[in-house]
């Protein structure tokens, strides 16, 4: 349908879907399925998310000419589908043009591409580095006439920055703004997005539809939670978070208001029908982000199942719960690898956890391999004191066993270190750091406890695991320990975790100075020691497995410190 006669009703489907980076054919098939679904719901237009056909973020794939050609071919094929008289589409794809390679959208209807629009404001901070692979659009382009309605189509960052695109589109006659996004999750991000859009609505006076991608892509989690803010600055609709869905929203034009070009003319379009989903609270949101990230990393990379070391501690227990929730009990193998320092409590707790989750549970003692290493090194180590080196041999023996299981059975190793440990280097390279993916990499220790307690009383939507207590309370209540020597606890050499986590959050998330942190009530010597440990562990973090981003500043994409670094605050 290409009739440009203005209608007073526009039914816009928002496709909140889970594309896979590089799977152009699969993403096109997913788009076609969504459009067919929208057609059954009598939609006029389907709004897809940023770079949907490529998957987001495509990173350096964009530098590959064959990839760009595949994406543009898919875009043209999809545009051709609209000749059937069904809904038109707005879909994201990279496009190479004389002005450069652009992060773009096409608008298609009636079998034709009606317009292309290019992203103007390329983000280059935190997890984003679009300036590396894209060129900015040459200028702000005006609204697109779709079936008699003038649509403004900024792309993601175009409404986050200060390029003035929304206001310019309003001045150019746009009646409603449709914004495709690839906005990754961090704790509290939904509220941030709402405030950004409200600010733009105040500036331009137009209702704004914000369509966001869903799914895990390496470290990044796209949580969906698409929504719209009406010209009256209230929430027009809210889609679900962490769930793939196509929702049709109905917009009606108030011609009297639309004709009043002086004043708030954008009140011409009002959402009369749309979803009102509840956004999860913080523990549920974080847990579901970790679950989604693990599920997509495993499935999109083609692993049949996963294996992890189940020690009887809190970190491996919550990772086991996440794995069962994300993949199902039949796809997790948990392995207890006891040594002489493994307590009876840990043996029982690990078994109880595996039984509660229903997953396979194996016991593989490591006495012989560790003693073999020690025997082999006896002559070299003669005259030295036993210490961390011998402790790390235990961890490395466990890591080798897990990798052997991975190689033999094709299982991906889930590594289980939390952000507190990764921050201060309390993890062993080629030992407990072995693995393909870490679902709790960006959770501090106290957050791990909070999510474990939450999971014992809730089953998140979409989870494949059981209800009830899946992490034995004894694991939550006992003092954390690596059990690498007699009577060892983490607090022998670290501050209490509530203290450590607060200091680390100050240093990592907030980049606070030592004096500022001390002013919060912390001991100066403790703060300077934690800062030192944070810096000298950088080389370990560079070699760590990727993991789900939960905070505003995760290790890797968001925080890039030099390994060789002599700076210390105040010394």
Q: Which of 30, 50, 72, 204 is catalytic?
A: 50
395 is in an annotated binding site: no
196 is in an annotated binding site: no
DSSP 173-230: T-SEEEEEE--B--TTHHHHHHHHHHHHHHHH---EEEEE-EEEETTEEEEB--EEE-
333 sits in which H/E element: strand 332-336
**Do 508 and 553 form a contact (C-beta atoms < 8 A)?**
yes
426 is in an annotated binding site: no
d(CA 388, CA 369): 17
d(CA 210, CA 225): 9
- The structure tokens listed for 332 are 């997790």
443 is in an annotated binding site: no
553 is in an annotated binding site: no
Torsion over CA: 389, 392, 394, 396 (sign)? negative
191 is in an annotated binding site: no
DSSP 147-158: TTEEEE---THH
d(CA 266, CA 474): 59
Spatial CA neighbour of 295 closest among 463, 534, 446, 59: 463
421 is in an annotated binding site: yes
d(CA 407, CA 413): 10
d(CA 225, CA 183): 10
Active site residue 119: yes
Q: Which of 30, 72, 116, 119 is catalytic?
A: 119
Active site residue 156: yes
28 is in an annotated binding site: no
Q: Are strands 227-229 and 100-109 parallel, antiparallel or unpaired?
A: unpaired
d(CA 312, CA 354): 10
CA–CA distances in Å: residue 18 to residues 181, 243, 249, 365:
13, 9, 20, 41
- Euclidean distance between the first and final Cα of the chain, in Å? 70
**Do 471 and 391 form a contact (C-beta atoms < 8 A)?**
no
462 is in an annotated binding site: no
Q: Which long-range contacts (CB under 8 A, 24 or more apart) does 521-527 make?
A: 526/495, 526/499, 527/503
273 is in an annotated binding site: no
501 is in an annotated binding site: no
* Residue 546 DSSP code: P
State CA 268 to chain mean position distance: 36
**Do 176 and 206 form a contact (C-beta atoms < 8 A)?**
yes
Q: Which of 30, 130, 156, 359 is catalytic?
A: 156
181 is in an annotated binding site: no
Torsion over CA: 221, 140, 193, 176 (sign)? negative
Spatial CA neighbour of 55 closest among 218, 267, 251: 218
Q: List, in sequence order, every residue forming a beta bridge with 9; answer none if it has no partner.
A: 252
382 is in an annotated binding site: no
CB within 8 Å of 160: residues ≥ 6 apart = 121, 123, 196
Q: What share of the chain is helix, strand, coil (3-state, %, to 5)?
A: 40, 20, 40
Residue ranges of the binding site for ATP: 309-316, 416
Q: Which residue numbers belong to the known binding site?
A: 125, 183, 189, 309-316, 392, 416, 421, 540
Catalytic residues: 50, 119, 156
């Amino acid at each position: 349908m290409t009739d440009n006669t203005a209608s007073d009703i526009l039914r816009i489907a928002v496709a909140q879907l889970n594309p896979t980076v590089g799977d152009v054919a699969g993403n096109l098939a997913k788009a076609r399925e969504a459009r067919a679904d929208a057609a059954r719901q009598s939609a006029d237009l389907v709004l897809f998310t940023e770079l949907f056909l490529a998957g987001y973020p495509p990173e350096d794939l964009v530098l590959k000419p064959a990839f760009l050609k595949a994406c543009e071919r898919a875009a043209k094929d999809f545009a051709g589908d609209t000749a059937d008289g069904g809904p038109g589409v707005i879909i994201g794809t990279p496009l190479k043009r004389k002005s450069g390679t652009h992060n773009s959208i096409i608008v298609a209807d009636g079998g034709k591409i009606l317009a292309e629009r290019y992203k103007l404001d390329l983000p280059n901070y935190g997890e984003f580095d679009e300036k590396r692979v894209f060129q900015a659009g040459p200028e702000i382009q005006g609204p697109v006439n779709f079936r008699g309605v003038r649509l403004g189509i900024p792309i993601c960052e175009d409404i986050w920055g200060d390029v003035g695109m929304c206001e310019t589109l309003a001045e150019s006659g746009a009646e409603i703004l449709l914004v495709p996004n690839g906005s990754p999750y961090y704790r509290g991000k939904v509220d941030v997005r709402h405030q950004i859009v409200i600010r733009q609505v105040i500036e331009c006076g137009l209702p704004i539809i914000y369509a966001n991608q869903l799914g895990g892509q390496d470290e990044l989690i796209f949580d969906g939670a698409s929504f719209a803010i009406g010209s009256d600055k209230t929430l027009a609709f809210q889609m679900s978070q962490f769930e793939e869905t196509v929702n049709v929203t109905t917009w009606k034009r108030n011609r009297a208001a639309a004709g009043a070009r002086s004043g708030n003319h954008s009140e011409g379009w009002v959402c009369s029908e749309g979803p009102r989903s509840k956004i999860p609270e913080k523990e549920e949101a974080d847990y579901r982000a970790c679950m989604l990230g693990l599920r997509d990393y495993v499935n999109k990379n083609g692993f049949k199942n996963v294996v992890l070391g189940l020690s009887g501690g809190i970190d491996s227990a919550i990772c086991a719960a996440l794995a069962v929730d994300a993949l199902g009990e039949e796809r997790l193998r948990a392995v207890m690898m006891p040594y002489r320092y493994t307590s009876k409590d840990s043996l029982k707790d690990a078994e109880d956890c595996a039984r509660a989750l229903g997953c396979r549970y194996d016991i593989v003692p490591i006495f012989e391999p560790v003693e073999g290493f020690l025997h082999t090194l006896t002559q070299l180590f003669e005259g030295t004191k036993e210490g961390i080196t011998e402790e790390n041999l235990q961890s490395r023996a466990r890591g080798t066993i897990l990798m052997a299981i991975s190689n033999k059975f094709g299982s991906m190793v889930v590594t289980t270190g939390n952000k507190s440990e990764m921050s201060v280097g309390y993890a062993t390279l080629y030992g407990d750091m072995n693995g393909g993916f870490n679902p709790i990499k960006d959770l501090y220790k106290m957050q791990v406890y909070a999510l474990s307690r939450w999971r014992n009383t809730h089953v998140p939507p979409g989870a494949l695991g059981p209800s009830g207590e899946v992490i034995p309370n004894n694991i939550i209540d006992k003092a954390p320990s690596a059990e690498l020597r007699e009577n060892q606890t983490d607090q022998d050499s670290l501050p209490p975790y509530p203290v450590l986590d607060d200091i680390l959050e100050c240093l990592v998330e907030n980049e606070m100075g030592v004096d500022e942190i001390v002013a919060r009530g912390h001991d100066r010597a403790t703060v300077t020691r934690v800062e030192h440990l944070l810096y000298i562990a950088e080389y370990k973090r560079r070699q760590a497995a990727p993991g789900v981003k939960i905070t505003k500043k995760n290790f890797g994409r968001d925080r890039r410190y030099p390994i060789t670094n002599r700076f210390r605050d105040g010394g």
